[in-house]
Amino acid sequence: MRNLLNTLSTKCEHFVHFLRRRKILSKVDITYQVVWNLFLVFIVFGVISLFFVGGAGAGFFASLVKDEQLRSYEDMKKDIYNYEEVSEIFFANDVMLGELPTELERREVSLEEISPYLVHAIIATEDEYFYEHEGIVPKAIMRATFQEFTNSSVQTGGSTLTQQLVKNQILTSEVSFDRKAREIVLAMRLEHFFEKDEILEAYLNIVPFGRNANGRNIAGVQAAAQGIFGVDAKDLSIPQSAFIAGLPQSPFGYTPFYRSEGKVHVKENLDPGINRMKTVLRRMYEGGYISEEEYMEALDFDIRANLTDPVETMREKYPYLASEVENRASDILARQYIAEKDINLEELERDERLQVYNSHLAQARHDLRQNGYRIHTTVHKEIYDAMNEAIKDERYFGPLSSKGEPEEVGSMLIENRTGAILGFVGGRDFEREQTNHATQAYRPNGSTMKPLLAYGPAMEIGAIQPGQIIPDVTTHYKSNPTQEVRNFNHRHRGLITVREALKTSQNTTAVRSFWMAPHEMSRDTLLKMGIGLNDGEPYESAALGAVDITVEQNTNAYATFANGGNYIQSYMIDRIETKDGELIFEHEFEEVEIYSPQTAYLMVDMMRDVLRGGTASSLPGRLKFRADWAGKTGTTQEFRDAWFVATNPNVTMSVWIGYDQPESIKSAGGLSYSQRTQQIWANIANAAYGVAPEVMSPGHNFQVPDGIVSRAVCGISGLLPSDLCKEAGLVKTDLFNAKFVPSKVDDSLQSVRYVLIDDKPFLALENTPKEFTKTGVMVKEEFLGTLGDSLPSSWNNVVPERKAQENGKQPDPVNNTNLSGSTLSWAKHKENDIVGYRIYRAPNGSDQFELVASVTGSATTSHNVKSGSYGYYVTAVDVSGQESPVSKIVKGNNWSPEPPNEKEPKEENDKKKDEEKKPKPSENGDERKPSTPEQPSNSNENDE
């Protein structure tokens, strides 16, 4: 500066000497001195002020960025490439399902995958000196600063693409000198570390472009190209590129789409966006990026005609699945975050546990929506589609409830050996009800709980086996002795096997079996299978299904039987990867032993019978394929829920139907609720088989494990059969766990003579005619217990300890005898001590009647006889051997003489003659032998 002042001073002095030589300043010498000195003062002051202002400005700038740390290359790379990108979800086998809904839709692409027209349009419009500057354009910054200070109505902006990238990825959109100063510093540093193309690629992936045809906010050129024109960024034309390049100046002002009343519409007036496109085209032309011909052609491009239509999103097409995947993936990430911090949720109090979990869950949901994860599921697309298509047949669903709700359905298909969820049905209408009825709806599972809790634990400890006897008799809850355990049909079947009890779904036997296992064992059984319980549970009623569980939990539990007694937790998320392929989660399954392989197989074998004549006997006929199915039906109190769960060697599948607000379900379409449930199950199974036959029908049966043996037992005690049990035909053969085969021989029976009165067995009296008695066995009272009259229908020779009672009078005559061809019939005798009937016959031309048949039991009222010219009558015999008077005589073809008991009027001596002619029983109760060679027949034999 000193040299500059000396130079100026010297030149001024020379100029003054020149003026003096010409005597121009002679008169103003004094004035000159004053002016000169003032001029020098101003010059010095101006120069000093300039440097002062510059120094002050530099100091001010330094103060604005003093807190900005010097960022390394790695730090800046992490920030710049930290895109908020949509996460993608895949079906099994890497089949694309869709994108997880986010507030901002973005898809990353490389610069090579972007149309050069779009790249040129962006540069020409946003930063024409991009490849020349080093992060900033000083004159642009000074112009923008001047406009800001003067509050100019024209704001041209001063940000390069580099600065905009910094603002979006590192800083904020705050308007302040502090932020602007940091932006300048970071932009210059970014240019120092990164190539121009790297900066440009990052910018093109983060810049916002308004809204797409689905109404979602978009960022990045790939999301813009697909969401506005329905093409990839690499395929954009010149006018499409120009239109998109113009959007960042005012993304929502220029976007062609708007949302109203929940729907997306195209704007009536597209002029703002089109005018902006024309501006971009002009700049592309002026910048030499396109020719005049291309420019003129692009101006005529019809934007409206080339806009894309809305695309059905994953949330719209697969709402239940999209929601379920997001929930499960979020839970996985949240638990990972918690584990990384070494937090043990189980050690926390309930409120604190919830707070910790929920906070991490919120972070997981945020990351899931923005980090561009790749979420791979176990769900097979074809199976899932088929299962959900199968429930669209309205015929198999009941009417609206009293509250106007439709009947709902939930179903799940699980692969046994892995626990992978292959498909599910979440409900009939997501728009009406978002609850996933397969995974989120907790309902009582009714009798489907019996194999899991009532019989499984008791069988595991050997307290019961399939062929052993369990009494289906009047039973009361131990916890409430005044409350009776009621069967579905309010009837008891008596001493039946465990197999029969499960097959016919008896409630009393289930509760009695539940009593046999220790409570803690029963509790652990459910807890190990992921079924939540409160303190003190399970109670007795739990054995009948009074526990709220989900369809998934129930299905998963049944898969335990197919897995040899090992529980494998069901899962839907197979793995989660970053957008770069880094694995951040992969499912690993583990087996938890619940039952022994022997218990599991025996339960499977018993549940086969449910489909072979049990409560689901109609189901095999509804299927279009064959497989080794074993399952169980279930109904809850007041018929509010209906279930069917079945397993085969490969998969386990379930169906539940009911109303969201519990209410009794009804018959529909000519089918009961139970039939409808099984038909819906069959429809879903058939649909899945249609697309994946190898999944639904594996081609082999359940394998019998070691330790399963077949043994014969007495059908009354379940012990080894005695000779008397064999003679009585009460031996049953069934499967056993070899560890629990009975070793004691049955001693529950004794031989007796019995009669049938109203088809019920009673002990015969000493004077009961032998022709009406049968040889059978009587169950000793200690075995019979409270069985009473409840005997299985197959036990027709087993007699309770009760004697027949006589009424002390001769029976009245038999009424309504009739002969039709060879069938002789009569009315059942009204008295309650009748043990059978005798049939007498006389040939044509004779009135001498002879005994030709004895019919055992009071309920049998017909018999086959010889047709032709015969006359017949019938008498009734009571338990003490007293015989009734003869009935009306019925005649065959042309039989004579006229029966004496039909003559009118009857005379006393005629009555005596008839009595003399009729054969009489002997004193010991045996019948008299007829004079003809024909012998009396049994009740089921023809007398020929």
Question: Across residues 246-273, what is the average pLDDT?
Answer: 93
Q: Given its phi and psi angles, is residue 488 left (phi above 0), alpha (psi -120 to 50 degrees) or beta?
A: alpha
Which of 42-51, 190-199, 440-449, 726-735 is modeled with the greatest confidence?
Answer: 440-449
Q: What is the pLDDT of residue 107?
A: 87
Residue type, 138: P
Question: With bands split at pLDDT 50, 70 and 90, how would you rate the model's confidence at 627?
Answer: very high
> Considering only CA atoms, which of 7, 1, 31 is closest in space to residue 19?
31
Q: Show the beta-strand stretches assigned E in 781-867.
A: 798-799, 818-820, 823-825, 834-843, 850-856, 862-864
pLDDT value at residue 46: 53
Is residue 903 over pLDDT 50? no
546, 524, 549, 533: which is closest to 456 by C-alpha? 524
Confidence of residue 42 (pLDDT cuts 50, 70, 90): low
Tokens of 10: 């010297």
Check pLDDT > 70 for residue 481: yes
Over residues 208-227, mean pLDDT: 94
What interhelical angle do 271-286 and 116-126 show, nearest 10? 90
Residue 531: CB atoms within 10 A of its CB come to: 24
> How far, rounded to the nearest angstrom, does the alpha carbon of residue 358 sit from its chain's CA centroid?
24
The pLDDT of residue 18 is 52
650, 415 in Cβ contact below 8 A? yes
Average confidence (pLDDT) over 162-182: 74
What is the tens place of the pLDDT at every residue in 850-886? Answer: 999 999 999 999 999 998 889 999 999 999 999 999 9
Q: What pLDDT, on the 0 to 100 scale, is given for residue 784?
A: 57
Assign 769 to helix, strand or coil.
coil
Q: Is the pLDDT of residue 912 over 80?
A: no
Q: Does residue 302 or residue 66 have the better pLDDT? A: 302
The confidence band for 797, taking pLDDT boundaries of 50, 70 and 90, is: low
pLDDT at 567: 98
Going from the C-alpha of 872 to that of each of 824, 889, 910, the distances in angstroms are: 8, 5, 19
Question: What is the mean predicted confidence (pLDDT) over 656-663?
Answer: 97
Structure tokens at 713: 């037992």
Strand partners, 838: 854, 875
Q: Which of the four pLDDT bands, split at 50, 70 and 90, describes residue 12?
A: low
Give dist(CA 188, CA 165) in Å, integer: 12
Interacting residues of 165 by C-beta distance below 8 A, sequence separation 6+ = 80, 187, 190, 199, 202, 203, 206
| Model confidence at 941: pLDDT above 50 | no
Whether pLDDT at 592 is above 50: yes
Which of the two residues, 435 and 944, has the higher pLDDT score? 435
Q: Residue 790: what pLDDT?
A: 53
Mean pLDDT of 773-793: 67
Among residues 642, 587, 578, the alpha carbon closest in space to that of 407 is found at 642
Going from the C-alpha of 786 to that of each of 472, 541, 717, 747, 789, the distances in angstroms are 10, 22, 14, 18, 9
Which CA distances in Å does 380 have to 386, 494, 589, 653, 680? 10, 47, 19, 15, 20
Q: What is the mean pLDDT of the chain?
A: 86
pLDDT of residue 173: 55
The SS3 assignment for 707 reads coil
What is the model's pTM? 0.75
Nearest partner of 501 among 483, 485, 525, judged by Cα: 485
- The model's confidence at residue 186, banded by pLDDT at 50, 70 and 90, is confident
**Cα–Cα distances in angstroms (integers) from residue 799 to residues 125, 718, 761, 787, in the given order:** 103, 17, 6, 11
Which residues have C-beta within 8 Å of that of residue 442, sequence separation ≥ 6?
548, 549, 550
pLDDT value, residue 933: 32
Residue 261, pLDDT score? 81
Contact 105, 212 (CB under 8 A): yes
More confident residue, 84 or 908: 84
- Asked if 471 and 787 count as a contact pair (C-beta separation under 8 A), the reply is yes
Tokens for 237? 């034309």
The sign one gets for the Cα dihedral 353, 356, 359, 360 is negative
Neighbours of 93 (CB within 10 A): 9
Instruction: State how far the Cα of 70 lies from the Cα of 692, in Å rounded to an integer.
Output: 60
Largest Cα separation within the chain, whole Å, is 197
Of all helices (H) and strands (E), which one includes residue 412? strand 408-415
Q: For residues 676 and 263, which has the higher predicted lDDT (pLDDT)?
A: 676
Find how far residue 532's CA is from the centre of its chain.
Answer: 17
What confidence score (pLDDT) does residue 928 get? 35
Which class for 26: exposed (0-12), middle (13-18), buried (19 or more C-beta within 10 A)? exposed
**What is residue 716's predicted lDDT score, i.e. its pLDDT?**
81
% of the chain beyond a pLDDT of 90:
66
Residues 112-129 have pLDDT tens digits of 999 999 999 999 999 998
| Cβ count within 10 A of residue 55 | 10
State percent of the chain over pLDDT 70.
83
* Integer angstrom CA distances of residue 47 from 33, 38, 44, 60, 439: 21, 14, 5, 20, 80
pLDDT of residue 918 exceeding 70: no
Report the pLDDT value the prediction gives residue 93, as an integer from 0 to 100. 96
List, in order, residues 6 or more apart from 87 with CB less than 8 Å away. Answer: 99, 100, 102, 368, 369, 371, 372, 373, 374, 375
Q: Please enumerate in sequence order all residues whose Cβ is within 8 A of that of 99, keeping only pairs 6 or more positions apart, or say none.
A: 86, 87, 88, 89, 105, 313, 314
Nearest-angstrom CA–CA distance, 464 and 503 = 15
- Does residue 17 have a pLDDT over 60? no
| Whether the predicted pLDDT of 904 surpasses 50 | no
pLDDT tier at 927 (50, 70, 90 boundaries)? very low
pLDDT in tens, 324-366: 999 999 999 999 999 999 999 989 999 999 999 999 999 999 8
Which stretch, 1-15, 341-355, 681-695, 724-738, has highest mean pLDDT?
681-695
pLDDT at 923: 36
Segment 550-576, tens digit of pLDDT = 999 999 999 999 999 999 999 999 999
Average confidence (pLDDT) over 689-713: 97
